[in-house]
């Protein structure tokens, strides 16, 4: 590490609030599926900003679209219409099949809006404010109070109690555990279609189908969080589209803007017409022309560059190569995931492996203490997978 990098890290530690244990590199630029630190060292990136940079780094068409919007208009507030927001709403409705869109600045804000919409829907039915929401254990929905309240990790919530009330927890893929929490006050069930931070656990088709039927029977709203697993990552634009079901409310963010901080929650027609109205919800920056120019270009490039087709071509190869590592090392106990959202489960902490990989020019992250998470740019090739496996294999061999 150069003296310049050391100096930057020292300055960061003296100025930034220490809410992250950061890796000891200072990144400078990116290109395609690779990142470079300020010393010029190259890294193969299998994190993509935590499932954000689906299109890879330094995509010229994307960059040019943002530069063009900068020269026109960055912000207006939501008291006025703007063309990029109108076009982005139309495009995301087309790929999702949902009916109404609210643009936010982040995934956590999208979850907050989804929870408010669900409770307003229930309130309009009976005028009561004691409705309950069922969330999943081991889930992660964000750090704001509402999103944290439905995040199924008690450790994250402990120091910040009391959370918002009337939240219950069930187990993903255990329908009986959901049934045990349902009562006349239940207004919504929220889950990640594929749990991310909680350990890369996909919801099963049987579970989602049963929960959807339960919600239909009792007029409970199904909220699916697609912030990490959506936008093509599982081989479908949104992971739930594989299963022939549809949520009442959906959240998205991360790759929706491919680097520009954006999110959205989307409502079906029933909820869109019977929940939030003028004065119920708002945002200063959400849906501004710059953010929506990013969304527009991302959705255009997904089509033009056949992003989902590439996921479906490369993902089976990634699974195959990860399975080979699982078969090679007895301390790897499982490989699970969907598409280009995969996890290797070890019987020991993975921090040393991730740090060794970083030293060797491979960027990885964990999903829990004993799981290595793989969420690379969606443009990666089989050759990139081979390069990643070669480095990771050498790091695992050191164990």
- Comparing CA positions, the residue from 188, 178, 242 lying closest to residue 210 is 178
Domain boundaries, the chain: 3-55+306-397, 62-304
Note whether 190 and 135 are within 8 A (CB): yes
pLDDT at residue 398 is higher than 90: no
Q: For position 42, what pLDDT does the model report?
A: 98
pTM to 2 decimals?
Answer: 0.97
Q: Which CATH architecture has domain 3-55+306-397?
A: Alpha-Beta Complex (3.90)
Q: For position 162, what pLDDT does the model report?
A: 95
Please, what is the end-to-end C-alpha distance for the chain in angstroms?
Answer: 24
Q: 110-148 pLDDT, tens per residue?
A: 999 999 999 999 999 999 999 999 999 999 999 999 999
50-63 CB burial, b ≥16 within 10 A, e <16: ebbbbbbbebeebe
Note whether 334 and 345 are within 8 A (CB): yes
CATH 3.30.70.2860 is right for the domain spanning 62-304: no
pLDDT at residue 1 is higher than 90: no
Name the average pLDDT for the chain. 97
Q: For position 172, what pLDDT does the model report?
A: 98
The tokens describing 266, both together, are: 């989307």
Average the pLDDT over 31-57 and give the result.
98
Q: 229-267 pLDDT, tens per residue?
A: 999 999 999 999 999 999 999 999 999 999 999 999 999
Note whether 144 and 188 are within 8 A (CB): no
Q: For position 372, what pLDDT does the model report?
A: 98
């Amino acid at each position: 590490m150069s003296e310049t990098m050391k100096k930057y890290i020292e300055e960061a530690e003296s100025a930034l609030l220490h809410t992250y244990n950061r890796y000891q590199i200072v990144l400078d630029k990116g290109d395609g599926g690779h990142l470079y630190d300020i010393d010029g060292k190259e890294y193969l990136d299998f994190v993509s900003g935590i499932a954000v940079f689906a299109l890879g780094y330094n995509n010229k068409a994307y960059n040019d679209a943002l530069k063009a919007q900068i020269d026109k208009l960055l912000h207006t507030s939501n008291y006025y219409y703007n063309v990029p927001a109108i076009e982005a709403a139309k495009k995301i409705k087309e790929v999702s099949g949902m009916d109404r869109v609210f643009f936010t600045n982040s995934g956590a804000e999208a979850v907050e809006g989804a929870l408010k919409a669900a409770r307003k829907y229930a309130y309009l039915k009976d005028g009561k404010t004691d409705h309950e929401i069922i969330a999943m254990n081991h889930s992660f929905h964000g750090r704001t109070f509402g999103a944290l309240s439905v995040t199924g990790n008690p450790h994250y919530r402990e120091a910040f109690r009391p959370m918002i009330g009337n939240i219950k927890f069930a187990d993903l893929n255990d329908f009986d555990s959901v049934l045990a929490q349902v009562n006349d006050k239940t207004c919504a069930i929220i889950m990640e279609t594929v749990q991310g931070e909680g350990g890369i656990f996909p919801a099963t088709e049987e579970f989602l189908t049963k929960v959807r039927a339960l919600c239909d029977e009792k007029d409970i709203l199904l909220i699916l969080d697609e912030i990490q697993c959506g936008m093509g990552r599982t081989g479908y634009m949104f992971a739930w589209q594989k299963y022939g079901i549809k949520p009442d409310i959906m959240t998205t963010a991360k790759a929706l803007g491919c680097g520009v901080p954006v999110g959205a929650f989307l409502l079906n027609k029933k909820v869109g017409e019977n929940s939030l109205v003028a004065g119920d919800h708002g945002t200063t920056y959400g849906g501004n022309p710059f953010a929506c120019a990013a969304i527009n270009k991302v959705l255009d490039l997904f089509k033009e560059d056949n992003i989902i087709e590439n996921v479906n071509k490369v993902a089976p190869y990634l699974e195959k190569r990860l399975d080979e590592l699982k078969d090679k090392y007895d301390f790897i106990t499982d490989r699970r995931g969907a598409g280009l959202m995969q996890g290797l489960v070890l019987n020991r902490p993975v921090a040393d492996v991730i740090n060794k990989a970083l030293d060797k020019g491979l960027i990885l992250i964990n999903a829990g203490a004993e799981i290595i998470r793989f969420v690379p740019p969606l443009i990666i090739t089989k050759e990139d997978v081979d390069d990643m496996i070669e480095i990771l294999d050498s790091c695992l061999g050191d164990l």
